[in-house]
Chain A
């Protein structure tokens, strides 16, 4: 129950409205430090909306999002989008992969290290003169290489990212987010469209991140085998509200989850929805 004792991210009474539509309604949960936390729920439950609020792509209509990174505390709902990644160190991947397709794999990983490299190049002025920057870039390339080794793409480092196979692109996007040194890595459906072997490689990568780095992981996933295998903590959303919160074993036994999400036959659905709603 690390998420209760040592929460890295606290979401409190989060509300997100689009006009009259309430996508997220009074949602509260914690993400534990060094945990892998999964957010699951049927389509349209508001999972990606929660992600967009955490990573600054939406400004929440209400509520608080607090990240406690070591000594500092950040109120994400008040920060501009890029500062959430740069200062609060929360990075993300996207449901539809967003790599810099025309740039090489290595360049993608260097762009992720933009802020430290920019400082090392003296806001480009020193870099233009060739002072101090080359060493910083070598270090950045070494870090990129470390992650390329982890995702088995070292030999493809100089290939345009758009030319990679789909599964490789997914892993590259995760490696790119990791190159920004996040304390919280948000993954939006990382296993979508992967075959079983690629799914297994992804699981290993995520477990490796948990074992070897201080980064905590928050992920949205539909693939239950992945969720149940790697998660320490599962949060279930339905219609923008939290319906269950606990360990994978607890969530699996939860009746409301079973009714809303895991095993309801199509013809039973209206009856169950009516029951849950009441």
Chain B
């Protein structure tokens, strides 16, 4: 396909050179050109938005107490609107790039050599854009709603989204890269959560020590699950992992002396700022840093904690993908017999995939415990595994950006739907969209399987390129 495109461009160039360099056909944009064009386009759109929002959004006019005109400036709103337009426009450029990629015939006629890197770069750009938006989110929300406390609902929701995103990225290593269908991923989430809950309530160990311990515990359970399923593939693997998830849950319910059964473990110590608690006391976070006490400080800290954990998961996954172990995982997904014939120890390779995927699940689990302050087996039922797996499948197996988009859609979507009052207008006063959540999941899944059976972003970015690509070590953060 690339050759065809190259031939087309070459043919297009020839008449141009014959006429003394004047090009008859506009030349195809280079990858950098496409990236710059996307940025330029987004900036232009944001500028238009700025122009529009000045007269409409910037000043709110009210009638004052003496019938005079009161103008309230709303700068954050304008900034937020421009930011939305900017990132939205970038997202559109990216989706277009991906669409062209999946429709090669039109692309060969209209454009260019090396579209693959273009999509990769735009995906990378979108990754950075999403990361930037995630970093700015609590402040944007606070500005838009006039304070941190009113924004609490949105920040809590964002924390939930990021937790699922981290779980999705963790599971993506097992399902997306190594191709091992795991229906019991929530078990590792549970192991991580209970590791922290038990260690902190029994021995008073701090969160920062428990976090790695929870990861190691979960990785150990990952290996434990890995051994019996080494020889299984596809459906059989899915059934055993499903059973494993249920076994962990039933053990948590029935081993009452250790786990307190269905009642769960409560009053788990809350997170501290590297040892400084978020309390009103003199040795608390606010007093230490000379700030006024605000319970939202803890929430904001939790938000950035899970953001960092999720980004670490992403960075490690991207890095591993470019290392021999990551390529071996993908090779294993493609053809296990060929792997063996090339001297790859398939047992160890599978076990590392299970262990590393489980480790990130464990991290997320201990975060869950420290955030909730309470864990019970009810939080770790099959539904959770199904949601995490849906995020990975909908996002496009192996695609980090796709998983991020799917996590937002799957977790925040139903919540937003609940707040849409238009549905109550249409279906009557007592309509609760939350009750139809599963139905909507099902519909979304069915629609996806019809239109994009390989996920939102089905294109695979090569881990290394011989032509026109940097060495992977030189550009580790690219192509999220």
Contact = CB atoms under 8 A, between A and B. Distances in A.
User: Contact residue range for chain A?
Assistant: 35 or more
Interface string B444-472: 00000000000000001011111111011
Interface string A101-112: 111101100111
B134 interface: no
B51 interface: no
B323 A114 contact: no
B105 interface: no
B149 interface: no
A92 B344 CA distance: 13
Given A127-B323, A141-B464, A158 B116 contact: yes
Interface in B341-377: 341-346, 352
A9 interface: no
Interface stretch (A20-28, A81-89, A195-203, A256-264): A81-89
Given A98-B338, A110-B327, A128-B316, A137 B471 contact: yes
Interface in A65-101: 81-87, 91-92, 94, 98-101
Contacts of A107: 327, 330, 462-464
B295 interface: no
A112 B471 contact: no
B473 A102 contact: no
Given A85-B342, A107-B462, A128 B324 contact: no
B324 A124 contact: yes
B7 interface: no
B337 interface: yes
A204 interface: no
A86 B116 contact: no
A101 B467 CA distance: 19
Contact of A176 (B1, B3, B342, B346): B342
Contacts of B471: 134, 137-138, 141
Contacts of A134: 471, 473-474
B476 interface: yes
Interface of B: 1-3, 116, 316, 319-320, 323-325, 327-328, 330-331, 333-335, 337-346, 352, 460, 462-469, 471-474, 476
Interface of A: 55-57, 81-87, 91-92, 94, 98-104, 106-107, 110-115, 117-118, 121, 124, 127-128, 130, 133-134, 137-138, 141, 144-145, 148, 154-159, 163, 176-177, 180
23 contacts: A55-B341, A57-B341, A86-B344, A98-B338, A100-B330, A100-B335, A103-B330, A103-B462, A107-B464, A110-B324, A110-B327, A110-B464, A117-B324, A124-B324, A134-B473, A137-B472, A137-B473, A148-B466, A158-B116, A158-B469, A163-B1, A176-B342, A177-B342
